[in-house]
Amino acid sequence: MSMIPDLKLSTPEEIQSVLDTLEYRYCKIDRNYYVNSVERTLKEGNALCVDGALVGAYFLSKLGYPPLLINLVLWGPGHVNAIFRTEEGWGSVGKSQYSDTGYTAPEYPTVFELARSIGERYRKHRSRPLLFSIVNMAKWPIEWVFGNENLEEFDINAFLSSTRHFDI
């Protein structure tokens, strides 16, 4: 039985409001961290950027969007958001330790321009993004949504790293 609350969200902005209520969970520099399912993230009330991206992708899929993630590869820790496309363009929702790298209004005509926009904002705080990839979570086992265990056995970080990346 799912423990994911039925939040009746109707817009990406409302999804971002939910993500904003989650405490940012810092990880160790050695990258010895774990990724949580959507259910566990909402239960614990904290998230890394990838946890927040999974939550965002889940709720976007409930609105009819495909559950897409954008993975930015940097010198140092990377960054992941959930992305969506409206008639106005591409946008994103996400969790970040930096307030300006979570939500991006859907105003970018291409995913490349969205990636560059998120990357430029992230660069103010960290290193310059070099590459990005798009991942469709619909192709992943449903455990990324449901479950009380972390997603260590699915090695989502290795999966994100193994996808085709494009220069920013």
Domain ranges of the chain: 12-167
Closest by CA position to 72, among listed 114, 15, 133, 121 = 133
pTM, entire model: 0.86
pLDDT digits (tens, 9 = 90+) for 141-152: 777 788 766 666
Cα distance between residue 96 and residue 93, in whole Å: 10
Q: Which is more confidently placed, 160 or 86?
A: 86
- The pLDDT of residue 9 is 94
The answer to whether 27 and 33 are in contact (CB under 8 A) is: yes
- DSSP letter (8 states) at residue 4: -
Residue 30 scores a pLDDT above 60: no
Residue 60 scores a pLDDT above 80: yes
CATH fold for domain 12-167: C8orf32 fold (3.10.620)
Quick one: pLDDT band at residue 62, thresholds 50, 70, 90? very high
- DSSP letter (8 states) at residue 154: G
pLDDT digits (tens, 9 = 90+) for 75-125: 656 789 999 999 999 999 999 887 777 799 999 999 999 998 988 877 766
The answer to whether 75 and 119 are in contact (CB under 8 A) is: no
